[in-house]
Amino acid sequence: MTLGMSLDVDLNDLHRMESRASSLSDDTVPPEGTAVLAVDRFGFSALNVGYADAGSSLGYWSMFPAPDGTGTIPVWGHATVLRSSHPDLAPGRTYYGLLPMATHLLVSPEAVGPRGFTDASPHRRRAAPVYNRYLDRSSDPLSTTSPSAASEVLLRPTFTTSFLLDADLAEQGWSGADALILTSASSRTAIGTAQVMRTRSQRPAIVGLTSARHMTDVRLLGCYDRVVDYDDIGSLPVGPTALVDLSGDPAVVAGIHHRLGEALVHSSAVGATHRLAPPLETSTLPGARRSLFLAPGVATRLRERLGVASVERTLAAAWRICAHEMQDWFEVREAQDATTVQQVYRQVLEGTVAPRHGWVLSLRPGTT
């Protein structure tokens, strides 16, 4: 029997993570209309650190409540129904969705069907629907076409953003750009975007911008037409160029804008992998005006234009290609005890994990 526990961080110092006993265990009998899930495995990357950074402002801390002054970081992974007091949710089924860094999760299922269910717990009602939906891995098209459970928890959380980025840029005709720059080229969102773009017959050249220590790994991917060191921004050719910034580093953004000037025809902000970069005014930079990429709006527009079924088919087809191409590049590493998971967390927080190292974590021994 697995006793319940979670890993929580100090909201005043994210470097402090400690284990906490939970009232849930494998033997917990859930109240009527609820179910207890076993958190089997989850991926952890800079995406999850981003959730912690924005925990208060974007409501991530409310998804899995923790004692005052602490927070449970949301992660994406797999969970199995251990015990159910809901008439439509059977024990033994495995789902993909947002989970706590914990051994168990109590959910209040609604809209239960062959494709999955939604957690209607009161503390999650303000969250976007995508965060509360759990997809049945036996029928979900992305789950069934994943080359492995590890690849799904490592790559899937950012892949939908990559897919929507490509769709949005293509819909705009790439803003007339001959080249498109992706900063933080070693990030999974950038890699996924480049992989999807490469399948198009008509597209701009894909330029990956990354740090010197990641150049070799990024080039091995083969999804970028050119890989450039941050220190070599001055070597970028001056011509119609689009910028998709995943670094959130104002100095990097300013360097690109000043290098390309009016030749920069598109500039959008997507992420902030350089989370500790010092602030810098970017509102008066030369070239295209900076915009914020909003994935939900793009998703809604695509569904209205193409239909839900068509979008799902296209997404699944793109995922199948990307996941299999990434399978050989990633070096999957596993950890199943609280001490090692905490060490991995601090390495990701400090940015010392190599791009090719994908951590699949669990607090339940024998499940990764």
pLDDT of 275 reads: 76
**pLDDT given at position 1:** 53
Domains and CATH numbers, the chain: 3-139+330-361 (3.90.180.10), 158-297 (3.40.50.720)
CA 349, 132, 270, 185: dihedral to nearest 10 degrees? 60
The band of 44, judged by pLDDT with boundaries at 50, 70 and 90, is very high
Neighbouring residues of 277: CB distance < 8 A, sequence distance ≥ 6: 247, 248, 249, 250, 251, 252
Structure tokens at 122: 């009161």
Question: pLDDT tens-digit profile of 208-250?
Answer: 999 999 999 999 989 999 999 999 999 999 999 999 999 989 9
Q: What pLDDT does 294 receive? A: 83
- What gap in Å lies between CA 166 and CA 177, rounded to an integer? 14
Mean pLDDT score of the chain, rounded to an integer?
A: 93
The predicted-structure confidence for 283-324, as pLDDT tens digits, reads as follows 789 999 999 888 878 888 888 998 988 988 999 999 999 998
pLDDT of residue 145: 92
Nearest alpha-carbon partner for 268 in 294, 245, 247, 239: 245
Q: Is the pLDDT of residue 260 over 60?
A: yes
pTM of the model: 0.90
Q: Give yes or no for residue 19 having a pLDDT over 80.
A: yes
- Cα gap 165→50, rounded to integer Å: 19
As a whole number, mean pLDDT of residues 101-115 equals: 96
pLDDT tens column, 159-206: 999 999 999 999 999 999 999 999 999 999 999 999 999 999 999 999
Residue found under tokens 């005014």: 281
Report the C-alpha gap between 349 and 187 in whole angstroms: 14
Q: What is the pLDDT of residue 283?
A: 78
Tokens of 136: 């049945």
Task: Pull the structure tokens for residue 272.
Answer: 């902030």
Q: How far apart are CA 117 and CA 134, in angstroms?
A: 5
